A = this chain, B = another copy of it.
């Protein structure tokens, strides 16, 4: 019973071998299936919790647990520190995913969470959009052109007949570099252009993925939106942070990923609980019956849900195992005599350590 580490370079090997499209498609479909399983009572997904602080710098470290009963426990540990890029030159979000076997408590694997999170956030929007966007939607507006915009575009390109993408960012350099950052996947016959806010807002489907400060929203104007627009609101994930105009949120059918969390951190903060529409589970369960929503203004209020992490963790470990990537380490004590807590100091003397120190 070793623990397999899937670090950044292992994930890269999995992506190169499997392909981004296949991983995205399997995540979208896997999430749909997992929603049905949650609905059938096979999962336990508590609210995330953690530490939030302003010293030494503003940030939080939190854990997002999900269990498919009798199968796997996945806990994503997430750090969110907005000053990281400027102060330390590292990403705002660092995360690590732990996979446990509920038959024994064994820590099966530890996965770098960055790609996993990017993939699942895109996939969740794609799944919701499948049910909520107007039929024939072919233009996509991206408000905020950072990392999330890349995966939103990739994910949506898998579920809609995309013809035209309008990208807007308040930072011109971020907008300009967007075209280079989407080189990892094919977008045949899609025209991608840096645009103004009004044009990006007027698309059939809009994704907001900004780092707007708490209280500084909204990031777009109600007057530019189509009557039956579908918006994936990805950026609001913090108490006080919202991206959409309240007038629009009040008018639209707002579908949260995880209701209790969205009420605290998402666009749903702008609504009373009774004003919130069906959640992702309900959308997936009702399937075709949702068509009534396609011709209305709709919002997918994406705050990030541990179920999504669970799905990608399973996909990545499955491919990782099949490819034989990942580093197996003897991390946990599996002592010969569990009643002898100090025995390992003696017994290990004869070179039980198969992995030697590399520092």
Contacts and interface: CB of A to CB of B under 8 A. Distances in A.
Interface of A: 1, 4-5, 7-12, 15-16, 20, 44, 46, 49-51, 53, 55-57, 59-61, 63, 65, 67, 69-70, 73, 75, 77-81, 84-85, 88, 90-96, 98, 100, 102-107, 110, 112, 114-115, 118, 145-148, 150-151, 154, 174, 177, 181, 184-185, 324-335, 337-346, 348-349, 352-353, 355, 357-359
Contacts of A16: 345, 349
A147 B338 CA distance: 7
Given A94-B106, A102-B59, A344-B12, A329 B327 contact: yes
Contacts of A70: 53, 55-56
Given A96-B331, A103-B56, A184 B90 contact: no
Contacts of A92: 338
B357 A324 contact: yes
18 contacts: A8-B344, A10-B357, A50-B65, A51-B65, A53-B70, A57-B103, A77-B107, A94-B106, A94-B332, A115-B333, A115-B341, A115-B344, A118-B341, A181-B343, A184-B343, A184-B346, A324-B359, A327-B357
Nearest to A111: B331
A49 B50 CA distance: 11
Given A53-B69, A94-B107, A184-B346, 18 more contacts: A1-B90, A5-B331, A8-B331, A9-B352, A50-B65, A78-B105, A79-B100, A79-B107, A81-B103, A96-B107, A110-B110, A114-B333, A114-B341, A146-B339, A147-B338, A147-B341, A181-B337, A327-B359
B333 A174 contact: no
B91 A8 contact: no
Contact of A348 (B12, B77, B96, B145): B12
Nearest to A3: B96
Contacts of A15: 342, 345
A79 B67 contact: no
A70 B5 CA distance: 28
Contacts of A340: 147, 150, 181
A104 B75 contact: no
A56 B102 contact: yes
